[in-house]
Amino acid sequence: MSLVANTGKLAGRTLFITGASRGIGKAIALKAAKDGANVVVAAKTAEPHPKLPGTIYTAAEEIEALGGKALPCIVDVRDEKAVQKAIDEAVKKFNGIDILINNASAISLTDTPNTDMKRYDLMHSINTRGTFLASKLCLPHLKNSNHAHILNLSPPLNMNPFWFATHVAYTMAKYGMSMCVLGMSHEFKPFNIGVNALWPMTGIATAAIEMLTGDVSTSRKPEIVSDAAYYMLCQDPKTYTGNFAIDEDVVKKAGVTDLTPYACDPSNIGNLLPDFFLDVPGSPSAQAAKKEGKPEGQIPTLFAAIGKSLSPDLVKKTQAVYQFNVKGKEEGVWHIDLKNGDGACGQGEPKSPPDATLTMDSGNFSDMFAGKLKPATAFMMGKLKIKGDLQKAMKLEKMMKSLQKK
């Protein structure tokens, strides 16, 4: 599903795309393939992942089925030799490189105490160092192109402390990619190389996000990003450089007037999950300081209702113990046990160790269980902090739907 028409401007051009075996990277590759472009699928997945679809080889097959040419390369962007080898193979097969897409990225939405250094190093090695490395090694070939672009999938630089406070390690790693855009757009201008960043306005439904949250109904399809990337890559790199673009702004500029088809669930078009790092109406940062008055005693009433709705079937489907550290007006500790017996809930810590501990304001807590605020949305907006098993925490969404039906 694409709303921006292919023009053929990328025909014969060679794109080197990191992380192109699935998700946004693959969507950009397929869009370019429709022009007859050459695509280097530079990613780690050579063997099928047990939970995520796609390998560099299946992506290559899809690219060639659409009229493009593909070169699948096993690449870990942390490995300088592997990146250089893939670049050498690309130049040998396609006689050069015109476009570099720095898409590969790692994420961990953890605060400072809960970010282990192995995960910290992974994010910085892939996001910031990997982007810098691929750009550095592709540079000699980009200089030889008459249509050279570097496009980083990274956010606009926003110094609002909100975006650092909840996951400073991840923010630094993503902003490192954006700082490459800021510096290289000026450094490479004499060589007529356009260097830009692209970031989604909303959550994007990739297989990884679906596996993480279990729900993509408030997200958009990857095609909005690939349409935006395609439009950007068709611009003249001599003049189009140094931009921190947002996907929906770009597709609107390309002539798309109705964004509804990009939504995974068109009925949620007015309730899409905002992405990180954007201070726009309805965004996490715009709502962070907003406090709503709530009548006292909501949470005890809520847990009384939850207790009446527990069942062996719900326990069987969920298999998780939750602890809720509630802050604000109705501060306290509560729990829901959906792993043992017929289930249990109430005030205080659970008898069994929690699989996930969730911390949030009492007002947001009430909204979440009333169905006004989804756990995935609350998490993305910084209203919900999760310690423990993130996937089990996101099962709350399905569990709450079951409760609301009763």
Q: What is the per-residue pLDDT for 166?
A: 87
DSSP string across 325-373:
EEEGGG-EEEEEEESSTT-EEEES--SSPPSEEEEEEHHHHHHHHTTSS
pLDDT band at 284 (very low <50, low <70, confident <90, very high): low
Domains of the chain with bracketed CATH? 14-285 (3.40.50.720), 298-405 (3.30.1050.10)
Give buried/exposed letters for 17-47 (b at 16+ CB in 10 A, else e): bbbbbbbbbbbbbbbbbbbbbbbbbbbbbee
Assess contact for 172 and 277: CB atoms under 8 A. Answer: no
80-84, 105-109, 364-368: which has the minimum mean pLDDT?
364-368
Side chain identity, residue 295? P
Mean pLDDT of 261-265: 95
Secondary structure class of 45 (helix, strand, coil): coil
Assess contact for 265 and 218: CB atoms under 8 A. Answer: yes
Q: What is the per-residue pLDDT for 331?
A: 84
pLDDT band at 281 (very low <50, low <70, confident <90, very high): low
Q: What is the per-residue pLDDT for 279?
A: 80
69 - beta bridge partners?
A: 38
Under 8 Å CB-to-CB from 267, ≥6 apart: which residues? none
Q: What is the per-residue pLDDT for 401?
A: 66
Q: What is the per-residue pLDDT for 375?
A: 79
* Share of the chain residues as helix, strand and coil, in percent rounded to the nearest 5: 45, 15, 40
160 has a pLDDT exceeding 70: yes
pLDDT band at 295 (very low <50, low <70, confident <90, very high): very low
Q: What is the per-residue pLDDT for 113?
A: 94
Nearest to 167 by CA among 277, 44, 48, 43: 277
Q: What is the per-residue pLDDT for 374?
A: 79
Side chain identity, residue 5? A
pLDDT band at 369 (very low <50, low <70, confident <90, very high): confident
Give catalytic residues, as residue numbers: 170
Mean pLDDT of 252-269: 94
Mean pLDDT of 55-60: 97
Side chain identity, residue 349? E
Q: What is the per-residue pLDDT for 271?
A: 83
Under 8 Å CB-to-CB from 170, ≥6 apart: which residues? 107, 108, 109, 110, 123
275 has a pLDDT exceeding 70: yes
Chain-wide mean pLDDT for the chain? 90
Q: How many residues comprise the chain?
A: 406
Q: What is the per-residue pLDDT for 213?
A: 63
Higher local confidence (pLDDT), 398 or 205: 205
Q: N- to C-terminal Cα distance for the chain? A: 37
Share of the chain above pLDDT 90, in %: 62
- pLDDT tens for each residue of 235-257: 999 999 999 999 999 999 999 99
Q: Would you tell me how many other CB atoms lie within 10 Å of the CB of residue 330? A: 20
- pLDDT tens for each residue of 309-323: 788 888 888 899 999
Mean pLDDT of 94-102: 98
Mean pLDDT of 96-105: 98
Secondary structure class of 263 (helix, strand, coil): strand
Q: What is the per-residue pLDDT for 87?
A: 98
Higher local confidence (pLDDT), 77 or 207: 77
Q: What is the per-residue pLDDT for 117?
A: 98
pLDDT band at 206 (very low <50, low <70, confident <90, very high): confident
Q: What is the per-residue pLDDT for 293?
A: 38
Higher local confidence (pLDDT), 398 or 393: 393
pLDDT band at 296 (very low <50, low <70, confident <90, very high): very low
291 has a pLDDT exceeding 50: no
Give the up-direction half-sphere exposure of residue 180: CA atoms within 13 A in the CB hemisphere.
Answer: 28
